[in-house]
């Protein structure tokens, strides 16, 4: 029994079972050409401001698990705005203007959490 007084569940041991569950929950979308949105030159994308970055920084939860980069959230919370301020032209703004994002930002890792 766990602290919540519910019986411990057995983790699935069959890779085939895990693959079938993941395939059912998260079906693959066939890759194709990227969606082309019409460019609206009359509405320039505003630059990402230091105030916006500080606002995002203040919402970082220090006790949450780190992302794929392995950087602890406490390090991001303490250093993010200081280093981003020195990026030429603002990396975030450039990505929004061009529609091109680093491939590392598009990777993900699925982690299934037991409901026990």
The pLDDT, as a whole number, for residue 1 is 46
Backbone dihedral angles phi then psi of residue 106, each to the nearest 5 degrees: -100, 0
Total residues found in the chain within this entry: 116
Contact status, residue 38 vs residue 66, Cβ threshold 8 Å: no
Q: What is the pLDDT of residues 12-44, one digit of tens each?
A: 778 888 888 888 888 887 777 777 777 666 677
Q: Is 21 helix (H, G, I), strand (E, B) or coil?
A: helix
| Model confidence band, residue 5 (pLDDT cutoffs 50, 70, 90) | low
pLDDT at 93 over 60: yes
Nearest residue to 18 via CA among 101, 116, 114, 93? 114
Query: Most confidently modeled of 6-15, 56-65, 91-100, 102-111?
Result: 56-65
Q: For the residues 89-101, what does the mean pLDDT come to?
A: 75
């Amino acid at each position: 029994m766990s602290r919540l007084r519910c019986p411990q569940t057995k983790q699935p041991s069959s890779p085939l079972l895990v693959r079938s569950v993941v395939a059912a929950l998260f079906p693959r979308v066939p890759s194709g050409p990227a969606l082309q949105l019409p460019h609206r030159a009359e509405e320039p994308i505003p630059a990402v401001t230091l105030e916006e970055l500080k606002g995002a920084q203040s919402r970082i939860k220090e006790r949450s698990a780190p992302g794929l980069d392995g950087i602890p959230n406490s390090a991001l919370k303490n250093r993010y705005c200081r280093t981003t301020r020195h990026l030429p032209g603002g990396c975030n703004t450039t990505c929004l203007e061009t529609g091109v994002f680093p491939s590392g930002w598009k990777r993900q890792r699925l982690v299934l959490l037991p409901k026990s």
